[in-house]
Amino acid sequence: MGKTITEKIIAAHTDHDEVHAGQYVYANVDICLGNDITAPIAINEFYGAGLKKVFDPDKIVLIPDHFTPNKDVKSAQQVKALRDFSKKFGIKHYYDVGRVGVEHALLPEQGIVGPGDLIIGADSHTCTYGALGALSTGVGSTDLAACFATGKVWFKVPETINFVLSGKPGKWVGGKDIILYIIGKIGVNGALYNAMEFTGDTIPHLSIDDRMTICNMAIEAGAKNGIIGFDDCTKDYVDGRTERDYKVFQSDSDCVYKETIQIDVGSIAPQIALPDLPENTKPVDEVTNVKIDQVIIGSCTNGRISDLRIAADVIKGKKVAPSIRLIVIPATQDIYKQALKEGLLETFIEAEAAVSTPTCGPCLGGHMGILAEGESALSTTNRNFVGRMGHPDSKIYLCNPAVAAASAVTGKITHPDNC
């Protein structure tokens, strides 16, 4: 019987020749990741257990991206814990202010993760790296602490749902719209502890950035991981970038899927997720005249250079509506530099947007764009839960970068063709 790509990657990181869905395994990891919210907890657990040595300082990644530059004393203490731990154990991949980026954009960009890897991170959107043909998933901080010492993690091998994407995406439609549409179709528990594998003739039309967006939000359907098989697009991205040798895995033609779901991508319009769940999706044309107070373009979901190019193309020569605060956040320093080189940042500033250093800040209601009572935001981030970006009586709508830019110009949720 054939195996899925997820089953093959897990098996390759264990002592088993093969694994099957539902099996519990103890697997070796290639990379384990923590940030300035989750890693301090792991570090405390590590020391509390009396541990004195990490398993491999080159395979631990610590990224203080949520509250940097530090917003207050508490956040400064959180980052200091990462900095001190990194110094003590010689952690290779620690990135401080001026070098830091949003973790799930930074790791692929810097070649820290690659195809065939098994990656865990104490952050739910670690599933992003499935876009490279890797198995990546979020874990708790105590699991991260154990991994610091052992380089291993327990897994229950997930069943896999095959999402067959067909057709070419239409104008203004990208990875964000595809995954929002899917979540709207199956619900936020529709893939609970399953692997979401994305296949079909749409895949060659999707950039790595779009694929990362899709896999990033697999967790919003409850998935253990999202994954897309290796192809020429993946190879072009990782060759010369990924710092370790990589191994390519593909699902067998006779592998067993829990379910196969057909998605006609050609019929998908730009999507909006209405408050307060990512499953509350509608085409943008059905969400008209919704006034907003703030627009965010950035995050681990849509802060990459292609996202900024799309937004700048929509907003160029226009002004942000007087009632709107537009905040643009390039996801990494390299993206920031490229956007500067291409004149994208100048376009945003001339439109009267604020441009930030890389940070996750507003996505989780940390800083750099907190919502007050009664305010609404339209955001390219990945979650719109109650109170996610500030006051519990604020509202969050999710969208792609083109819709975000168009809406910043008009002051209400707007299709990019209508701004």
Q: According to the 3-state scheme, what is the secondary structure of 208-234?
A: HHHHHHHHHHHHHHCCCEEEECCCHHH
Please check whether residues 132 and 113 belong to one and the same domain. yes
Query: In degrees rounded to 5, what are phi and psi of residue 264?
Result: -85, 95
Among residues 215, 242, 263, the one where a domain terminates is 263
Please check whether residues 195 and 332 belong to one and the same domain. no
Please check whether residues 211 and 160 belong to one and the same domain. yes
Give the span between the Cα atoms of 398 and 380, in whole angstroms. 6
Give the span between the Cα atoms of 318 and 107, in whole angstroms. 34
Tell me the CB-side half-sphere exposure of residue 407, using CA atoms within 13 A: 35
Q: How many domains does the chain have?
A: 2
The one-character DSSP state at 17 is S
pTM given for the model: 0.96
β-strands 93-94, 60-63: how paired? parallel
E strands present in 1-149? 24-28, 31-35, 60-63, 93-94, 118-121, 135-138
Give the span between the Cα atoms of 284 and 246, in whole angstroms. 40
Among residues 263, 282, 297, the one where a domain terminates is 263
Contact 40, 78 (CB under 8 A): yes
Grouped pLDDT means (10 residues each) for the chain, 419 residues: 96 96 97 97 97 97 94 95 98 96 97 97 97 98 97 96 98 98 98 98 98 98 98 96 90 96 98 97 93 97 98 98 97 98 98 96 92 97 95 97 98 95
Contact 123, 103 (CB under 8 A): yes
Order the strands of the 271-273 sheet from edge to edge.
281-283, 271-273, 395-398, 376-379, 294-297, 325-328, 354-355
Residue 301 pairs with which residues in a beta bridge? none
Domain of 412, CATH number, reads 3.30.499.10
Please check whether residues 246 and 276 belong to one and the same domain. no
E strands present in 29-170? 31-35, 60-63, 93-94, 118-121, 135-138, 152-156, 160-166
Please check whether residues 216 and 276 belong to one and the same domain. no
Residue type, position 366, single letter: G
Residue type, position 119, single letter: I
pLDDT recorded at residue 180:
98
Residue 261 pairs with which residues in a beta bridge? 163
Order the strands of the 225-228 sheet from edge to edge.
225-228, 195-199, 160-166, 259-264
Please check whether residues 339 and 299 belong to one and the same domain. yes
Please check whether residues 366 and 403 belong to one and the same domain. yes
Task: List the domain range (segments joined by +) for residue 403.
Answer: 271-418
Give the span between the Cα atoms of 229 and 283, in whole angstroms. 28
Q: Each residue of 120-159: b (16+ CB within 10 Å) or e?
A: bbbbbbbbbbbbbbbbbbbbebebbbbbbeebbbebebbb
pLDDT recorded at residue 309:
98
Please check whether residues 84 and 100 belong to one and the same domain. yes
Give the span between the Cα atoms of 304 and 344, in whole angstroms. 12
pLDDT recorded at residue 383:
95
Please check whether residues 224 and 327 belong to one and the same domain. no
